[in-house]
Structure formats: structure tokens, C-alpha cells
Amino acid sequence: MTRAHSPVVSQRRVLAEIREAREALQLTQKDVAEALDWSTSKLIRIENGTVGLSITDLKALLLHYGITDRDRVETYVAMAKAGREPGWWDQFKRTSSPEFVKFLGLESAAVILRQYQLHLVPGLLQVPEYTRSLTAQVTGDAEVQERRIRLRTQRQARLEDPELEHFFILDESVLHRRVTDGESWGTQLRHLREVAERPNVTLQVLPFKAGWVEGMQSSFELLQLSEQTNDLFLNLEQPDGDVFFDDVIGAEKAAQFIRIFYRLEDAALSPEETPDFIDKMLHRLED
């Protein structure tokens, strides 16, 4: 698998490296901040990625941690610089939260994406008519609607890369919940049918007959950001907004949801059975 370039991933990687260097020396954030004559809050914000990491601050941290090998220092500096490069998602900074913009950068670079959706067709699989109907229930602003459609379309570009893997599990309720008119709903179902045939996409439906499966209470998305199986980012959907867990803060949480996803996979219809199930939904619609 290859990783698409992402400034967000580069920034995330260099921050993980400097955190690990500090922890290897058994230094607290307060210890380091006092030694560098910084406020503790400054180091906390740097490590959390809530403020930018300047090259000067990076070199000061590396020197304090005893990292002086020229090649290693230059590698970290290059990663930090790459983390400041613009990405296509930056155009949505003015209309989206910083957390969601970060998520877009990570999603674009993930080598494996796993998503369970309890209520709606995932954004990566939505046709424009479906997205427009959803957005129209929130705002009547046509410009906002078109911006969200454009965002969905740009996110979906990753599906065209055969080296990036995608695993989707849709609760059967998703296929019954029409958020569009009949014609547009047919377009959406046919699109799901077509996407299911792509070699880099595995689509499964969790049928009602499967009964209760532990962990099916919330929709979630798991991003695997490298060949390392524990290099994960979790997006957990909640009624009051998405909650994000990265590989440092939420490693245990992400690992828990990987296990949940595997249980849902086992309970769902197989990838071979799912297209036939969607065909049945299309026949009902036509009748």
C-alpha cells in the first residue's frame, strides 16, 4: 500500500516523534517547558497540534532531547515543513471546524478506511442528489449546498486510487431511509451497487435479521494511516457532533473500535451477498 501525501499526516508524524522522544527520557511536559523557558501550555499545544510547530522550536526540542544526528534532524525538519504545506481541504477552513479540516487531511491520506454507518449513506458513497437533500434540511442556502456537494466529491476522489482500501458496513436501515425523492433514491442505490463492484471497495449490509451486535449503537470511521496496524485515527459520530481520537490520545479507543468493526463484519451479509440485497431494494422501488 502507498500513502497519499498529506500535510496533516506529516505534521502528525513529527509531533508523535517528539512526544515519543520526550517520553523515552521520562520527562514531563512541565520539565521540558521549564528547561526551555516556555510555558507548559505552549508545549501542550505544540504536542496536541493546536498551534503550529516552528522550525526554531522543533530544533530546540530536538537538541534538548539529545537528537543531534544531522540526517535525523533534517528528516524531522522536512516533515515539519511538509506539515505546513496547503492541502485541498484548506479551502474549507473558513466554513468547517479545525478538527474536521484535520480529519479531511487524514482521510485523504489513509491507506485503509473502515466505516460503519447506522443511519445514512456514508459521505464517500453519496451521490450529489443525496447530499443536496440532506443539506437542504439544514439550510436553504444554495451556495452552502453546492459547497458541501463539492466537498463530498473531492473526498470521493480517493476511491479512484486502487491502492487505497475501503471497507463499508451499512445498517439495513440506511437502505430504507429515503432522504431524497424516488428517482434520486434509485440513483443512490444504483451507485452503491456500482461501487460495491470496485476491487478496492468492500461493501456489506448488516441486515435486521442479524439482531443485536455489540457496538452497533454509533456510526464511526477508522482510518489506518500506514502499514502499521496501530497507526489509527477514529471518528466517532455523536448526536452533538463528531468526536475524534488520534493515535496518541485515543490509541486504546481506536483498537476497541477495530474489534467492534470485525464483529460487525462477521454479522453482516458477505460482500458477495450484498449486491443482490441492494438489487432487491431497487426492485421494490421500481414496483
- Whether 208 is in a domain gets the answer yes
Domain residues for the domain of 21 are: 7-82
Among the ranges given (17-26, 134-143, 239-248), the one the predictor scored with the smallest mean pLDDT: 239-248
> For residue 243, is pLDDT > 60?
yes
Whether residues 168 and 43 share a domain: the answer is no
Q: How would you write the chain as a 3-class SS string?
A: CCCCCCHHHHHHHHHHHHHHHHHHCCCCHHHHHHHCCCCHHHHHHHHHCCCCCCHHHHHHHHHHCCCCCHHHHHHHHHHHHHCCCCCHHHHHCCCCCHHHHHHHHHHHHCCEEEEEECCCCCHHHCCHHHHHHHHHCCCCCHHHHHHHHHHHHHHHHHHHCCCCEEEEEEEHHHHCCCCCCHHHHHHHHHHHHHHCCCCCEEEEEECHHHCCCCCCCCCEEEEECCCCCCCEEEEECCCCCCEEECCCCCHHHHHHHHHHHHHHHHHCCCCCCHHHHHHHHHHHHHC
Structure confidence at residue 252 as a pLDDT band (50, 70, 90): confident
- Whether 139 is in a domain gets the answer no
Q: CATH number, domain at 203?
A: 3.30.870.10
Whether residues 108 and 30 share a domain: the answer is no
Structure confidence at residue 3 as a pLDDT band (50, 70, 90): very low
Whether residues 223 and 103 share a domain: the answer is yes
Structure confidence at residue 287 as a pLDDT band (50, 70, 90): low
Higher-confidence residue of 279 and 238: namely 279
> For residue 8, is pLDDT > 80?
no
Query: What is the pLDDT at residue 223?
Result: 93
Whether residues 118 and 239 share a domain: the answer is yes
Mean pLDDT to the nearest integer, 60-83: 93
Whether residues 73 and 111 share a domain: the answer is no
Q: CATH number, domain at 24?
A: 1.10.260.40
Structure confidence at residue 5 as a pLDDT band (50, 70, 90): low
Q: What is the pLDDT of residues 111-123, one digit of tens each?
A: 999 999 999 999 9
- Whether 271 is in a domain gets the answer yes
Query: What is the pLDDT at residue 247?
Result: 57
Higher-confidence residue of 148 and 275: namely 275
